[in-house]
């Protein structure tokens, strides 16, 4: 949602805004007509500053990394300044998408369909740091699982930040860390899989990180097969080969205590700007959310009195009826004089946040019975909005028309090829 006004910047002698335009089509038209008029300023929902509209870009309220770039029209986009867009990418969205629970549910949802005509890449899931690696060469060993259960080892010198991400922390540039070495041990015996696993690993690790294969045969022609060049790599390879088979893998994981909190706040602001427009952006509560968004210390954020609940584990969901496997569900509903937004990700993690406490802002836009949207991220498609009453379908949401539409999307993919060609007990799809 764009917010346009005339010559109103404080400090330039202009008056406060008198005319707001929040309707998308009209706003776009105005921008097209007026071009880069110097006095044409827009307020950024994330920082609250007036800026020239030419400094604005499209922001995905639900990030692309989580399948938020839905087709063909995207109802969850707003205009934010370039500075905020790039800062959010590194410090908010990037960190959230690379937190291991979200990374792993994302890879899980992505492995539901297969396009035999495309260069498919299924990224590996993150398991943690191997505690049985001796670290004699000063490296740690991060362990990942490929789509057919492939073992993927990444040896590198430890990152300076806390180890709470799947891979390199998104705010540290690749040039500032040891690229390390990756080893891939394929598990599937169907020759269709090694290139898919390899491409997934290639997309996951930095370009300069060499990827070696532990057991390329009999498919060694389908992916690159570089030779080990250093004694360090040889020692790492020997250690992998010495691992006993069929035993539990000891790995360690860490989590930020305020996991996902700032992402949820950003989501609340973006959704408020998208659904309620300019009056929300200039509202008092939106200012409180902004303050929380840029506050790094969890204890300082807690003092701002923002209502909601950060992402919880599946068995702690307060509203499990909105959990649809592999899908995201967005719910917006007025509750006791507050407009609340619920975001359920991958049917696994649920967070809730107050968007506004000013009923005038939403009474003409959000009906009392609320609104829901459901997104199938692996397919970049969504269904909605529907009212919560329709979603609930007399207490049987699983048989609602909405659910049938979602199931049709989820079933539209081509099943995965078998992992093994000779083992009749292997399921045909994951």
Contact residues: Zn ion, CB under 5 A: 44, 46-47, 81, 84
Q: How far is the CB of 290 from Zn ion (least distance, A)?
A: 9
> Would you say 85 or 344 has its CB closer to Zn ion?
85
d(CA 272, CA 282): 11
> Would you say 92 or 332 has its CB closer to Zn ion?
92
Among residues 363, 348, 277, the alpha carbon closest in space to that of 317 is found at: 348
Reading the block at residue 343, the tokens are 């975001």
Q: For helices 261-276 and 284-293, what crossing angle results, to 10°?
A: 150
> Would you say 83 or 390 has its CB closer to Zn ion?
83
> Would you say 78 or 192 has its CB closer to Zn ion?
78
> Would you say 50 or 142 has its CB closer to Zn ion?
50
Residue 318 CA, distance from chain mean position = 22
Which DSSP letter does residue 325 get?
T
Q: What is the layout of strands, in order, in the sheet containing 251-252?
A: 211-213, 181-185, 151-156, 140-145, 125-130, 251-252
CB contact at 8 A, 172 and 165? no
Q: How far is the CB of 288 from Zn ion (least distance, A)?
A: 16
d(CA 371, CA 387): 5
Q: How far is the CB of 31 from Zn ion (least distance, A)?
A: 17
CB contact at 8 A, 142 and 130? yes
The counts of H helices and E strands in the chain are: 13, 16
> Would you say 42 or 140 has its CB closer to Zn ion?
42
Q: How far is the CB of 281 from Zn ion (least distance, A)?
A: 11
Q: How far is the CB of 4 from Zn ion (least distance, A)?
A: 16
Q: How far is the CB of 286 from Zn ion (least distance, A)?
A: 13
> Would you say 47 or 430 has its CB closer to Zn ion?
47
Q: How far is the CB of 51 from Zn ion (least distance, A)?
A: 7
- Count Cβ neighbours within 10 Å for each residue of 357-380 and write b for 16 or more, e otherwise: ebeebbeeebbeebbbbbbbbbbb
Reading the block at residue 105, the tokens are 């549910």
d(CA 167, CA 99): 9
How would you classify the pairing of strands 211-213 and 181-185? parallel
> Would you say 280 or 362 has its CB closer to Zn ion?
280
- Angstrom distances, CA of residue 372 to CA of 28, 361, 426: 26, 19, 38
Q: How far is the CB of 83 from Zn ion (least distance, A)?
A: 6
Reading the block at residue 160, the tokens are 């300076």
């Amino acid at each position: 949602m764009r917010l346009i006004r005339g010559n109103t910047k404080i400090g330039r002698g202009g008056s406060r805004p008198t005319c707001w335009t929040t309707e998308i089509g009209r706003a776009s038209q105005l921008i097209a007509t007026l071009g880069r008029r110097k006095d044409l300023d827009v307020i950024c929902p994330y920082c609250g500053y007036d800026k020239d509209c030419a400094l604005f870009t499209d922001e995905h309220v639900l990030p692309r990394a989580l399948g938020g770039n839905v087709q063909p029209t995207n109802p969850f986009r707003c205009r934010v300044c370039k500075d905020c867009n790039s800062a959010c990418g590194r410090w908010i969205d990037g960190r959230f998408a690379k937190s291991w629970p979200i990374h792993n549910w994302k890879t899980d949802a992505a492995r539901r369909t297969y396009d035999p005509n495309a260069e498919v890449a299924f990224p590996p899931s993150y398991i943690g740091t191997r505690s049985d690696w001796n670290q004699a060469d000063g490296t740690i060993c991060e362990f990942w699982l490929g789509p057919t259960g492939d073992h993927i080892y990444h040896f590198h010198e430890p990152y300076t930040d806390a180890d709470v991400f799947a891979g390199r922390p998104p705010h540290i540039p690749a040039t500032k860390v040891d690229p390390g070495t990756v080893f891939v041990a394929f598990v599937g015996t169907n020759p269709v899989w090694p290139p898919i696993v390899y491409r997934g690993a290639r997309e996951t690790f930095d370009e300069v990180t060499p990827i070696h294969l532990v057991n390329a045969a009999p498919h060694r022609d389908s992916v690159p097969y570089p030779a080990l060049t250093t004694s360090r790599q040889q020692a790492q390879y020997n250690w992998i080969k010495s691992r006993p088979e069929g035993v539990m893998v000891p790995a360690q994981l860490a989590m930020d205590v305020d996991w996902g909190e700032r992402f949820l706040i950003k989501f609340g602001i973006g959704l408020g700007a998208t659904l309620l427009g300019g009056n929300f952006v200039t509202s008092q509560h939106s200012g409180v959310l902004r303050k929380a968004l840029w506050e790094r210390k969890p204890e300082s954020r807690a003092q701002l009195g923002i209502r909601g609940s950060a992402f919880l584990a599946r068995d702690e969901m307060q509203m499990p009826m909105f959990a649809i496997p592999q899908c995201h569900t967005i719910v917006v509903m007025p509750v006791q004089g507050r407009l609340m937004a619920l975001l359920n990700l991958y049917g696994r993690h649920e967070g809730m946040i107050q968007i506004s406490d000013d009923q005038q802002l939403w009474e003409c836009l959000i009906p009392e019975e609320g609104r829901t949207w459901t997104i199938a991220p692996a397919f970049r498609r969504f269904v909605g909005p529907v009212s919560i009453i329709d979603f609930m379908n007399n207490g049987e949401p699983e048989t609602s028309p909405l659910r049938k539409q979602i199931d049709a999307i989820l079933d539209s993919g081509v099943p995965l090829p078998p992992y093994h060609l000779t083992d009749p007990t292997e399921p045909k799809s994951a």
